Amino acid sequence: MTMLSMFTPRVTLLRLYTQPRRLFSTAPFLFKEAVKATSTKKVITPSKKASSTTTKKASAKKASAKTASSKKASTAGAKKSAKAKKAAADKKAAALKLKKENSITELKKKEKPKRPSSSFALFYKDHFNDFYVKGEPVTNAVSKASKAWAETSDEIKSQYNEKVNANYIDYNKLKDEWIAKYKRPLTGYTKFIKSNIDKSTCKTTSDAINQMKQLAAKWSALTIDEKESWKAKQL
């Protein structure tokens, strides 16, 4: 008999003895875990499911409404900003327009006297209804008036010429006043050049340029008092 065969029955008996003991020792633990799992497991009833679904829908609807309101607010803000920008641009344009209208150039254009009409224009204006036919082009009336003017007697033409001459007297008077109002005063340098330039020697452009350079050098050599005297001088 070998040594291994001697110990085999004992090992078998030891296993039979220990295994049931191990099983019974772990049984309470397994029972506790099963009870714990059963107690902690959530049981969702149909009513709870419906309420949770309703809550989710309500929250989704609320979020959607919030997003829509934020979009609406942003759109309103953008429109308000665009209106403010447009108002500012219009205000700036109006200010520039007013500034331009009040500028010297624009005032000069507005106040410039209008040239009187010619004798034929006065004749055409007086007899417009005789030449113009409703529905026809105005050019037809002009051609009729020109033919009638050519056939008009010298006596009638002289009457219109007298009117034109009288209008020109008033026009020339207004024009002189307008020129005097907006005419820029001559500087001392301009007066100096006008008084000292010799046009007879300016046969070519280069001659005029050379003479202007010489006069400019002379002007630079003048004292401040001499320049002021030229500024006050009347030409």
Tens-place pLDDT, residues 154-207: 999 999 999 999 999 999 999 999 988 888 888 999 999 988 988 888 888 888
Provide the terminal-to-terminal Cα distance of the chain, rounded to the nearest Å.
159
The whole-chain average pLDDT of the chain stands at 78
Tens-place pLDDT, residues 11-60: 444 454 455 444 444 445 544 555 455 554 454 455 555 566 667 667 77
CA dihedral 193, 198, 199, 201 (to 10 degrees): -140
Would you state the structure tokens that stand for residue 67, as one six-digit string? 């997003």
Question: Please, what's the b/e burial string for 59-93 (b: 16 or more CB within 10 A of its CB; e: otherwise)?
Answer: eeeeeeeeeeeeeeeeeeeeeeeeeeeeeeeeeee
Q: Which residues are within 8 A (CB) of 132 and not within 5 positions of it... i.e. 6 or more apart? A: 138, 140, 141
Instruction: Give the whole-number percent of the chain exceeding pLDDT 90.
Output: 37
Distance CA 224, CA 231 (A): 11
Would you state the structure tokens that stand for residue 103, as one six-digit string? 């500028």
Instruction: Give the residue-averaged pLDDT of 75-94.
Output: 77
pTM greater than 0.75: no
Range scoring the smallest mean pLDDT among 35-44, 60-69, 79-88: 35-44
Give the confidence band of 215 by pLDDT, cuts at 50, 70, 90.
Answer: very high
Check whether 218 has a pLDDT greater than 90.
yes
Which of 85 and 188 is assigned the larger pLDDT?
188
Tens-place pLDDT, residues 112-140: 999 999 999 999 999 999 999 989 899 99
